[in-house]
Amino acid sequence: MIVGLPAHPDYCAPDVHAGPDHPMRQLTRAMAFGEPWTPSDAARVAALFDGLAAEWSDRHVDPTKAAPVLDAIERGMPPLDARWIELGAGTGAGTRLLHGRVREQISVDLSEQMLAHAPTGLAPKVRADSSCLPFADDAADVVLLINMLLFPTEVDRILRPGGHVVWVNTLGDQTPIHLPPSDVAAALPGAWTGVASNAGCGLWSVLRRA
Ligand SMILES: C[S@@+](CC[C@H](N)C(=O)[O-])C[C@H]1O[C@@H](n2cnc3c(N)ncnc32)[C@H](O)[C@@H]1O
């Protein structure tokens, strides 16, 4: 069961941006619920984000984008004295926020250019496809996904027993890569409990295997 917490007092609903027909939304749902992720999907998505990287990095972390991540940490209470692996870390929006807050973090992304624009020295950067990660089973205490595709089998494999998944969509249901927390829990193997809320213009959920 996912318990909904009241929205953060500063929450503002996102403007209309990307609805259910957005191609990224459709891809997100397809990957979460078991459609195959092909090499051509990987090449297409890597090329897309390689092309967006310079502009994306200019945005860094604005307070509205940071708010759901920080609220997830504060009210969702995932463990901080822990090893966090962030999938789809991009140009380091999450990396910057986690720095100094968690014991250890690793930033993973498919796009060489997104990683090239991420800050150096805050976390090891690993270029990898999250559908096939270069980590041992149970390698992470926490897996963080901010506006990132969900590959349930790999998240489940690298997450230690009792570990947490932190899911953030910084524009809520208007985020192109969006799933409601209940669907994230349904897509992950096994039964999950957790909390969810809204902050900034986004949503977050902190899930733990029941
Ligand atoms: C919408 S961006 C979000 C980036 C960052 N989390 C942020 O909020 O600024 C999605 C990121 O996921 C990465 N990504 C997409 N598919 C991936 C995959 N299969 N494995 C690893 N990273 C992937 C993209 O390259 C991109 O950097």
**What domains sit in the chain, N to C, each tagged with a CATH number?**
2-209 (3.40.50.150)
Closest atom of ligand 1 relative to the 24 alpha carbon: 1
Q: Furthest-apart CA pair in the chain: how many Å?
A: 43
- pLDDT at 19 (0 to 100): 80
Ligand 1, residues 69, 84, 148: which to mutate, most atoms within 8 A of Cβ? Answer: 148
What number does the ligand 1 atom closest to the CA of 111 have?
A: 25
H or E element, residue 70: helix 63-76
Instruction: Write out the two tokens for 49.
Output: 């984000």
Q: Radius of gyration of the chain from Cα atoms? A: 15
Q: Would you state the structure tokens that stand for residue 2, as one six-digit string?
A: 């996912």
Q: What is the rounded distance in angstroms from the CA atom of residue 115 to the CA atom of residue 35?
A: 26
* pLDDT of the residue at 58: 72
pTM: 0.97
Please enumerate, as own/partner, the contacts of 22-30 that have beta carbons within 8 Å and a separation of 24 or more.
22/176, 24/176, 24/177, 25/176, 25/177, 25/178, 27/149, 27/177, 28/149, 28/150, 28/176, 28/177, 28/178, 28/179, 29/179, 29/183
Burial state string for 123-143 with b = 16 or more CB within 10 A and e = fewer than 16:
bebbeebbbebebeeebbbbb
Strand partners, 145: 87, 167
Rounded to the nearest angstrom, the distance between the alpha carbon of 90 and the centre of ligand 1 is: 5
Q: Closest ligand 1 atom to the C-alpha of 48?
A: 25
Q: 114 CB less than 6 Å from ligand 1?
A: yes
Q: In a structure prediction context, what are the per-residue pLDDT tens digits for the chain, which is 210 residues long?
A: 999 999 999 999 998 888 888 999 999 999 999 899 999 999 999 999 999 999 887 766 788 899 999 999 999 999 999 999 999 999 999 999 999 999 999 999 999 999 999 999 999 999 999 999 999 999 999 999 999 999 999 999 999 999 999 999 999 999 999 999 999 999 999 999 999 999 999 999 999 988
Kindly state if the Cβ of 130 falls inside 6 Å of ligand 1: yes
